A and B are shown apart, each in its own frame.
Chain A
Amino acid sequence: MNKKHFYHLVDPRRSLYLKVSIFFLAGVIVPLSLVFFIHYINISKQTHLLIKQDMANLTGELGRIVEDKILDATKQITLLATSQTMQSDTAPAEEKLTLMRKFCDLFRVFNNITLIDVDGIVQTAVKYDFVGDWKYKKWFKSALDGNIAVSPVHIIMPSEKFVITVTSPITALDDKAKAVVAGQISMEKIWEITDRVKFGKSGFAFITDDNAKILCFPDKDKILRKLTPLKLQNKLYSDKSGFIEFSDEHNISKVCFYSTLNSEKQPYGQNWRIGIIQDKHESYAIVDKITIHTIIMATGCIFLMAVLVVIFGRTVIKPIMAIMHTMTEIANGNLETMVQVDSRDELGQLAESFNKMVGNLRISTTSIENLNYEITERKRAEENMKELNSELEQAVKKLEETNQELKNFVYIASHDLREPLRKISAFGSMVQKSLSGKIDGDDAENLNFMIDGANRMTKMIEGLLLYSRVSSKAHFAEVVDLNDIVKEIGQLELSVLLEEKHTTIDVPVPLPEVDADPVQIRQLLQNLIANGMKYQAKDNVPHITLTSQPAANGMVRINITDNGIGIKPEFQQAIFVMFKRLHSKNEYEGTGIGLAVCKKIVEKNGGQIGVESEFGKGSTFWFTVPLAGKSAGIGEEAAIAVRSV
């Protein structure tokens, strides 16, 4: 039972804690997280916008600077082309070269200035770079047509420098070009600007031309190579400006913002892209910071919620759990349990009511319990008694069995012993007769002893046989007239003895009829009368009186009173025990069986035997026996009485 209840308590499906937690989660934490999430997205969006704006401003600014640099260079080269010295046909080449050198020194943006005639032959140059044949160069041809031209970025040999060539025509009076001045803008001068741009720690600026070839990049090895990766390149040349995230060749996430140089302002019409590339993690560092803050705040809130859940559990769930535990205890029968709730709210009231209920339950349960206890005790006693009874029955049964065996033994033994003894006695007497006179005094006496012993033994055995017969034989009760039996005894069994001792048997009032075994009752009376005659003082004439008096339970008491020696009170009980003799055989002969047989007979017939005696004045042996016609019920009762004792 306990286990099962415990199981219920921890079963997650039934846990109140869990339900409350889920309720809180669903009701509070989820919306809260959502709010945080939306807030976070908004802020990160705003931050992204700000970063993009920053980058856009920077690229715009950078574009203007680079543009101005190139435009300034074109203005300067035009200034040179329109100078008097350069215009002059007569001025010597050396003079022109000197001017060109001065220009190079003055405007450091120029790496070299070359004067080329209309056929593309270099007339003079500050440096003789290998640029190939001028007449194939577009910027040269454009200048011949009267334009100020700007070349793409290219490499000049042998210095392997990256340059932009700006060309300006030297026009004759008829507005036709008669020569071209070409100035090489060293890209290093532009890199000085772009390389100085730092956007955070990892941010750098780059410029690509309209063929996605890199013009400015911190890594100079990439100059004039295509911008990589292809994803970035494609994006750069699909929109005029934009923002893109990509991974570089080292698989580092980067972000790039780019814009296109305002090509309308450019005399050379190139769609240069100016961009800024930054490590994504740095670019998003602020966003990351916001993310971390949001996470911390959200975690804090969730923790707070958890604390609230715990407090809620303490204030609400705990009393409920306490009541539940108590209920479980009560269900298990422990009525001593009480709910301990200190709060005064509805739960407190509930607990109080519950306690009251438990109290009432306890009172009603106690009386029932007491009753139950008594019943249980009684049942237990009965059980014990039953057990004892059965034990007793078994003991009695055993005893009876043993008794029966003993009786059988005694009967068999006495019956079988009698025969040889009789032979000893009979042949002894014959020997005595035949030897009478032939043997002298001692031998005759010895023979006498022997015959006498055999006779005595025969008597003892006969007594034993009698006793055993009484106890073993079935009880056949019938109406017996005691007067007749006494008369017959006097005439038959005791006639010799009566005569010998001159005894009188007196029956002053006729004895009643009784219900008993006639044979046994005859033996009983014979024994008692003979007993009265036997224990007499010497020369005293025995006198036996038989009287009767009613006894309880439909019994009658027969008293056999003698005028013998009497029995001391301390021996009055012992005389009924087998072989118990108060006197030596020389004083009074006897086997010590007679009274035992009497007791047995009386008991067998449902009565009691006893003696009342005063030492020296005679004894009265008495016994009770059922009156005729009342034996049935009485016999039973007597039997019960015997058992219960």
Chain B
Amino acid sequence: MKKIICLPAIVFLIICVNYCFAQPPATKQIVFYTWKEYIDKSILEDFEKQFDIKVILKEYETRDMMLSEVQSESEQFDVILATDITVPLLIKYRLLAELDLTKIPNRKFIKKQFQNLPLDPDNKYSLAGYLWAFTGLAVNTDFVKENIDSWSALWDKKYKGKIALMDDCHEAMAAVLKYSNFSINTTDHNELAIAEKNAVSLKENEVQFNNTFENIEKVMDGRLWIAQTYNGDFVYKAENITNIRFILPREGVSLTVDNFVISVDSRNKNEAHQFINFLMSPANAARSSTTFFYPTVIEADYLIGKELLKNPVAYPPVKIFRIGNFPEDIGSTESEYVRIFNLLKQKQDNRVSNE
């Protein structure tokens, strides 16, 4: 009799032990590396639910940070949202896996002007499939009374010490070059010499370097009066604040597109493709655009609120494509850009250390 009772008990015990020690089925996961506060977490949750793939989010604040991180630990990331200028670098650093475009059918929704961009025209490694942006100037109207419509305001002695550029070689140099009425992708050494002179005069005007959010915040609280920011971030941070304005400088701006890339060392390339495709669906693109006030490259305007579409900072007029440039590969001239950018920052440092 006892044995008969024992048997089910043992069976139950075994089942319990098995249940406790049984490893849960290894759910697949991908690591998504993107700009800080640049993805709607609810979209990630939807993706996790729909595909049973866990998404680990990692964020960077500057392009250099992203480049350094990916360079030193490429196997940690699967999908990376790389700003256009970093794509050729990542390619040259041999950090990117080739894309299998057949696994991204949603690429058909990409707007024409964002298809086959100059830095990776064949979309071998990258696909512009998220949002796009441009840099302009955030202005505190409490301190700046005149109507500003040009980069030249940064060179104005009136605002000495109250100005800032983005702590980004490409964007800072774009400001200097646009002010000098040159292309942001110039490789002309004479033009660069002029740009260097202008950089020196800008440094004399005590320009500061911060990331885009710091710039906006500092303009908002008056520590800075005029600062370079991304359009979307401005809308996101300061949409309803009346004393600051966003200026689209008339000389032109640098346009930036976010590109999806996959790390060469990703162990979940299939899932990475699935994730990219998911984010590129018009519905999700519209959600991202609505959340972060940046225009999307996806044909999804019909899903976006009219209010946002009418906002000239978030959705600038079409002329932006005339006055704005997408970055191009400038080859070895890059070192000149770096040198001038360093020059700009050095002066600032000297000033700080002197204090």
Contact = CB atoms under 8 A, between A and B. Distances in A.
A128 B349 contact: no
Interface in B36-94: 62-65, 67-69, 71-72, 74-75, 89, 92-94
A130 B335 contact: yes
A155 B92 contact: yes
A512 interface: no
A117 B333 CA distance: 24
Interface string B89-108: 10011100000000000000
A121 B71 CA distance: 20
A155 B64 contact: no
B111 to A, nearest CB: 30
A132 B64 contact: yes
A121 B93 contact: no
Given A119-B349, A157-B92, A223-B94, A132 B67 contact: yes
Contact of B68 (A121, A133, A225): A133
A138 B94 contact: no
Contacts of A129: 335, 338
Contacts of A200: none
Nearest to A133: B64
Contacts of B68: 132-133, 136-137
Given A121-B345, A132-B67, A133-B62, A226 B92 contact: no
A115 to B, nearest CB: 11
Given A155-B94, A158-B332, A123 B346 contact: yes
Contacts of B62: 133, 136
A133 B65 CA distance: 7
A534 B229 CA distance: 194
A60 interface: no
A154 B338 CA distance: 18
B264 interface: yes
A211 B353 CA distance: 40
B24 interface: no
Contacts, number: 72
B197 interface: no
B331 interface: yes
Interface in B297-355: 331-339, 342, 345-346, 349, 353
B72 to A, nearest CB: 6
B265 A226 contact: yes
Contact of A136 (B65, B89, B92, B338): B65
B319 to A, nearest CB: 32
B170 to A, nearest CB: 10
B264 A226 contact: yes
Which of A154, A155, A158, A223 has the largest count of B CB atoms less than 10 A from its CB? Answer: A158
A511 B331 CA distance: 179
Contact of B64 (A122, A136, A224, A225): A136
B349 A121 contact: yes
B64 A158 contact: no
A132 B61 CA distance: 13
Interface string B22-43: 0000000000000000000000
- Taking residues whose C-beta sits less than 8 angstroms from the other chain, chain B's interface range is 20 to 34
A225 B93 CA distance: 10
B199 to A, nearest CB: 13
B95 to A, nearest CB: 8
B94 A122 contact: no
A121 B92 contact: no
Contacts of B332: 158-159
B92 A160 contact: yes
Contacts of B346: 121-123
A122 B72 contact: no
A136 B69 contact: yes
Contacts of B74: 211
A130 B341 CA distance: 11
A566 to B, nearest CB: 156
A150 B271 CA distance: 35
A154 B93 contact: yes
Nearest to A123: B346
Contacts of A117: 349, 353
A133 B170 CA distance: 12
Nearest to A157: B334
Nearest to B353: A117
A509 to B, nearest CB: 154
A590 interface: no
Interface in A123-150: 123, 125, 127-130, 132-133, 136-138
A152 interface: yes
Given A121-B345, A157-B89, A128 B64 contact: no
Interface string A145-184: 0000000101101111000000000000000000000000
A223 to B, nearest CB: 7
A128 B65 contact: no
B71 A122 contact: no
B338 A128 contact: yes
Interface in A208-225: 211, 223-225
A128 B265 contact: no
A130 B333 CA distance: 10
A336 to B, nearest CB: 95
A155 B71 CA distance: 9
Nearest to A159: B332
B179 to A, nearest CB: 21
A68 B318 CA distance: 60
Contacts of A160: 92
Contacts of A130: 89, 169, 334-335, 337-338
Nearest to A138: B72
Contacts of A224: 93-94
A159 B336 CA distance: 12
Contact of A225 (B65, B264, B335): B264
Nearest to B347: A121
A129 B92 CA distance: 14
B288 to A, nearest CB: 26
Contacts of B349: 117, 119, 121, 123
Interface in A31-90: none
Contacts of A226: 264-265
A157 B353 CA distance: 29
29 contacts: A122-B342, A122-B346, A125-B342, A127-B335, A128-B336, A128-B339, A129-B338, A130-B335, A130-B337, A132-B63, A132-B67, A132-B68, A132-B71, A138-B72, A152-B72, A154-B71, A154-B93, A155-B92, A155-B93, A155-B94, A157-B334, A158-B333, A158-B334, A211-B74, A223-B94, A224-B94, A225-B94, A225-B264, A226-B264
Question: Which 10 residue pairs spanning A and B have beta carbons closest together?
Answer: A133-B64, A128-B339, A136-B68, A132-B64, A158-B334, A158-B332, A224-B94, A130-B338, A122-B342, A136-B65
Given A122-B346, A128-B342, A160-B92, 19 more contacts: A117-B353, A119-B349, A121-B346, A122-B342, A123-B346, A130-B337, A132-B67, A133-B65, A133-B68, A136-B64, A136-B68, A152-B72, A155-B92, A158-B333, A158-B335, A211-B75, A224-B94, A225-B264, A226-B265
